[in-house]
Amino acid sequence: MKLLVPVLVCAACWPAAATTPCLTPEAAMAAAEIETGGQAVQARLIRNHTAGFGTWEVLVHLPGADHGWRCLISRDTGRLLKKRPIPNPAARVR
């Protein structure tokens, strides 16, 4: 019984967190920063006719590293779909 209660609580919360749409570039950049721990530099929408909503491609700069990340963020769920290492892009000036 002690194991059942936490599982039910997590199951009740999971669908709401997993289905938040990511409709703006700023939201996609924030999601990529959370997933990678780096600084998002740019985001662009990739239209995919089979996926419907499409995906965001986000370039992430990692300070102090020799590589960065190219992340694909789902537009309809806001989740990280794929991340690939790339040469570290230039940092964004704030």
pTM to 2 decimal places: 0.73
Tens of pLDDT, residues 33-52: 999 999 999 999 998 756 55
* Gap between the Cα atoms of 62 and 52, Å rounded: 31
Domain boundary assignment for the chain:
20-87
Mean pLDDT of the chain: 82
Could you tell me the CA-to-CA distances from 39 to 58, 65, 69, 75 in Å, in that order? Answer: 10, 12, 10, 19
- Considering the domain 20-87 in this protein, what is its CATH number? 3.10.450.40
Is the model more confident about 5 or about 72? Answer: 72
* Gap between the Cα atoms of 23 and 25, Å rounded: 7
